[in-house]
Structure 1
Amino acid sequence: MVDLLIINICAYLLPINLLEVLLFHGYISLAWISIAIATKFYVIYRYTKVTHILKLLFRQFFFYFLVVYAFIGFFKQPNMSRLALAQYVIYIFIAISTLKFLSYYLLMKYRERVKGNIRNVVVIGKNKKTQQLINVFNARSEFGYHFVKQFCPKEKNFDIRDCFSYIVQRNIDEVYCSVSELNNNEISQFINFADNNLKTLKFLPDNKNIFAKKLKFEYYDYLPILSLRDIPLHNPINAFIKRSFDVLFSIFIIFGILIWLGPILAILISLESRGPIFFVQKRSGLDNREFQCFKFRSMAMNPNADKMQAGKNDMRVTSIGKFLRKTSIDELPQFYNVLFGNMSVVGPRPHMLKHTDEYASKVDKYMVRHFVKPGITGLAQVRGYRGEIEKDSDIQNRIKFDIFYIENWSFLLDMKIIVQTVLTVFQGDEKAY
């Protein structure tokens, strides 16, 4: 957002002789975002080198320079000053480069001196590779990794359950495993543990068999690290796109629908049963943090609202509530959650705290769904897995679709899910009760 502000302010202040001012500003903003997505300009990690940032800057501005100059020919602007345009590109290159390196430097110093933005890590294995990694963690404090403990699987008293307990109790963020010191069963246990406890798991590639898998390469200094799961929404550009859409879409729904539909429903709900208009319930959100989820109240007041899902022919559901639930109108207040940042328009559906505790212990990889914000609708819901969970396969299939969504997110996938959700509302869903 700051970069977009810079490129637009400079374009406004410099004497470029623009005839189509709004067109040019829209053009350069769209061009900047499109090129940034293509070049991964904003994908910078705590261990990213300065040389890589320089490469990103030159790549971004090379294509941006070409696109900006192409504006003259595309839109027939013979009066535009070529010299002022060149000055414009140079000025924004200096401004954005300075800002980028300044923020990079300050963040490094913040981690190094203030000890903020720190990730607690443990290392599994004791060999030359793991010692090199520990040395990197200790020597490069600006990376923001706090090395806590090393476990040696080859020791006789090593117990993987003690290792897991330690990681949970000490609030460890990331686990680095030396693959050569773990057998297949132990690797599987670490993978399942990391998925079910929201821990980032990475491997040191000291076993040739690991290269047969589709993994992500990263470099800490000059040491290669393999990452097991790559989540698209952890990319800042993807997260920015999704959040921007969430804000715009939620504002459209709130001011286009809720502003007039809300008072009507409030009257109807109040006439049928006593109680508040909104039903507010604690749900599990991003990183398993609790948040208050809003809905239009569709049930009579009852003590089991936080313990038991609505079932078919549920006596607690009111007459107006049946209509609200059948049409999914009861979910509309969740667009306030989206605007506040607790939820997204599309994502895994948030569960009650009771169900999160229950399923976390009995459904494998259940906690993976909390790596992203929960959604008003999701892939599992448009594939028929919504509403009451009647058998184990319901929640298992729901989690499979949630994990697929998390690992394969795209903006087009979100659009497809939204369209399918709207169609389902009009066509009706037999599990909407």
Structure 2
Amino acid sequence: MPNGKSKYFFIPVLLIDIIILSISFFIAHNLFKSEILSLNHYKLSFTIAAFTWILIVLNRKIYDIPRFLRMDHIMMENVKALILYFLLINTLLLFFGIAISPKFYISMFLSFSFLQLAWHIAVLFQIKKMRIRGLNYRKVLLVGMNKNMEAMIKRIQSSPEVGYQISALFTNAAPNEFTKNLYQGRLEEVKSYCESNIIHHMIISLPHKQSAFINDLLHFGDNNLIRVKIIPEYSEYLSQSFYIDYVDLIPILKFRQEPLESLSNKLIKRSFDLIFSFFVILFICSWLFPVVAVFIKLSSDGPIFFVQERSGKRGKIFNCFKFRTMKINRESDLIQATKDDDRITPVGRFLRKTSLDEFPQFINVFKGDMSVVGPRPHMLKHTKMYSQLVNKFMVRHFAKPGITGWAQIKGFRGETKEVEDMKKRAEADIWYLENWNLLLDFKIIILTVWNIFSGKEENAF
């Protein structure tokens, strides 16, 4: 890529997408030749599919690769584009009256999705390799020196895949061992340096009292084709990350990014929950429930299901369903199960160890009280107690509770002997709701199943 530019990157990548689409049509055609009514329908359907994908790529900007790569976020955008593509193609084929069987259509779509995702991952890795080799880079000039600028320098220097090359640092602070190799002069020398050197980006981190100088550099950057970015002064004293929204031109700080506040993400997660829970209830619970019910009844007196009030999204109370694993006792709503708890029946111990006692919660998921993945719901007593003991504990209630979750696969499940145990669980749950995407849910589900079958659920008792 000459001069570190990538203006010709998009066209060949999109052309390969179209080639992948044609391969997917070829695969579906060879699998279901008899399902195509006419060659004209085949050609028209491919043309519609190709143009629709081009429009989606342009609209969703899935090949706009950010400097700081977050592979999971990028791939989630790709998955969203494919879901939208599936819905649009289906609608357009119906609109044009093109008779293609569901078998052909689904085969084509699954082939395209798999190949396109694999291709996109390959593109991302290739871009990272190119940047590490010094291609597709941007020259950066830094203005000001404080702890945030120091962290920025360390991040850029330790991450060559970002593709930033630090050209110079200008600050009125005396250079030290850390900055001496980057230091090029005082603040008043910034403009003259830019005029005699190629600079793509300028990053400024200065106190508010220098607002006139900051504005001067903003205007200078605009007039000299330099993109200016500012690290705000208040990031020096705020103890957590933040995001900026705007009401007209008024900036408003948000202290938490919540992907599940997006309507499209809510629909994606709820659709997945409905489909997943429906198939589990239909194909697993339909035969599992009668078998487990017999063993529970034979092992102890009492009901098959244990129903307990738990704290749900935004603190809403709901009835959580589980298979009963304990003898009938008056402390079930007050005291957590512990290792070697004499209230647990022999059958109950097996159900807990294998997590089979959780399967009735798929009914909660189907009803909408819970999600397949999310923070585990707690007893009302514990919600009240830990909300007083653990800072930000209630933040986890911004999301629907789940059958499994990020905290569980990190080992934070079972009895909480110390407040610190619950603090770590809450931190993991908050990280989940700030970083949610559908691929993360898939990862958590796969790791949960793996932990169960590999015997790593040490705290399942």
TM-score for both structures, normalised by structure 1: 0.54
How do residues 379-390 of structure 1 correspond to structure 2 at under 5 angstroms? 379-390=406-417
The residue identity in structure 2 corresponding to 1:248 is I
The 1:24–1:327 alpha-carbon spacing in structure 2 relative to 1, beyond 3 Å, is farther
The 1:211–1:310 alpha-carbon spacing in structure 2 relative to 1, beyond 3 Å, is closer
The residue identity in structure 1 corresponding to 2:234 is I
CA contact (8 A) 1:344 1:373 kept: yes
Verify: 1:263 aligned to 2:290, yes or no: yes
2: distance between equivalents of 1:294 and 1:247?
A: 17
Verify: 1:248 aligned to 2:275, yes or no: yes
**1:374 aligned to which of 393, 401, 404:** 401
CA contact (8 A) 2:374 2:405 kept: yes
How do residues 226-241 of structure 1 correspond to structure 2 at under 5 angstroms? 226-241=253-268
Q: Could you report, residue by residue, the CA deviation over 1:155-206 in whole angstroms, capped at 9, with x for unpaired residues?
A: xxxxxxxxxxxxxxxxxxxxxxxxx9xxxxxxxxxxxxxxxxxxxxxxxxxx
Q: Could you report, residue by residue, the CA deviation over 1:331-386 in whole angstroms, capped at 9, with x for unpaired residues?
A: 00101111111111111100000000000001111001001001100111111111
Identify unmatched segments of 5+ residues in structure 2. Answer: 1-39, 63-80, 100-207, 209-230
2: distance between equivalents of 1:343 and 1:395?
A: 20
**1:322 aligned to which of 331, 349, 360:** 349
Q: Residue 330 of structure 1: SS of its match in structure 2?
A: helix
Q: Residue 243 of structure 1: SS of its match in structure 2?
A: helix
Q: Could you report, residue by residue, the CA deviation over 1:245-289 in whole angstroms, capped at 9, with x for unpaired residues?
A: 111110111011000110111111112212111100000010011
1: distance between equivalents of 2:46 and 2:280?
A: 28
CA contact (8 A) 1:379 1:405 kept: yes
How many aligned residue pairs are there?
262
The residue that corresponds to 2:432 in the other structure is 405
CA contact (8 A) 1:342 1:373 kept: yes
Q: Give the root-mean-square deviation of aligned CA atoms.
A: 3.7
2: distance between equivalents of 1:225 and 1:381?
A: 34
Please report how far the alpha carbon of residue 430 of structure 1 lies from its aligned counterpart in structure 2 after TM superposition: 1.9
The residue that corresponds to 2:29 in the other structure is none
Identify unmatched segments of 5+ residues in structure 1. Answer: 1-16, 40-59, 73-77, 80-179, 181-206
CA contact (8 A) 1:242 1:411 kept: yes
Q: Residue 385 of structure 1: SS of its match in structure 2?
A: coil
2: distance between equivalents of 1:254 and 1:273?
A: 25
The residue that corresponds to 2:233 in the other structure is 209
1: distance between equivalents of 2:351 and 2:273?
A: 23
**1:311 aligned to which of 338, 348, 357:** 338
Please report how far the alpha carbon of residue 392 of structure 1 lies from its aligned counterpart in structure 2 after TM superposition: 2.0
**Bigger radius of gyration among the two:** 2
Q: Could you report, residue by residue, the CA deviation over 1:54-113 in whole angstroms, capped at 9, with x for unpaired residues?
A: xxxxxx9xx98xx97xx99xxxxx99xxxxxxxxxxxxxxxxxxxxxxxxxxxxxxxxxx
The residue that corresponds to 1:364 in the other structure is 391
Please report how far the alpha carbon of residue 18 of structure 1 lies from its aligned counterpart in structure 2 after TM superposition: 4.0
Verify: 1:432 aligned to 2:456, yes or no: no
The 1:422–1:248 alpha-carbon spacing in structure 2 relative to 1, beyond 3 Å, is same
The residue identity in structure 2 corresponding to 1:334 is Q
Q: Residue 367 of structure 1: SS of its match in structure 2?
A: helix
CA contact (8 A) 1:232 1:238 kept: yes
Q: Residue 266 of structure 1: SS of its match in structure 2?
A: helix
Please report how far the alpha carbon of residue 243 of structure 1 lies from its aligned counterpart in structure 2 after TM superposition: 1.1
Please report how far the alpha carbon of residue 399 of structure 1 lies from its aligned counterpart in structure 2 after TM superposition: 1.0
Verify: 1:352 aligned to 2:360, yes or no: no
How do residues 23-422 of structure 1 correspond to structure 2 at under 5 angstroms? 209-210=233-234, 214-422=241-449
CA contact (8 A) 1:37 1:237 kept: no
Q: Residue 421 of structure 2: SS of its match in structure 1?
A: helix
The residue identity in structure 1 corresponding to 2:460 is A
Q: Residue 384 of structure 1: SS of its match in structure 2?
A: coil
TM-score for both structures, normalised by structure 2: 0.51
The 1:421–1:23 alpha-carbon spacing in structure 2 relative to 1, beyond 3 Å, is farther
1: distance between equivalents of 2:362 and 2:286?
A: 12
Please report how far the alpha carbon of residue 36 of structure 1 lies from its aligned counterpart in structure 2 after TM superposition: 7.2
CA contact (8 A) 2:325 2:352 kept: yes
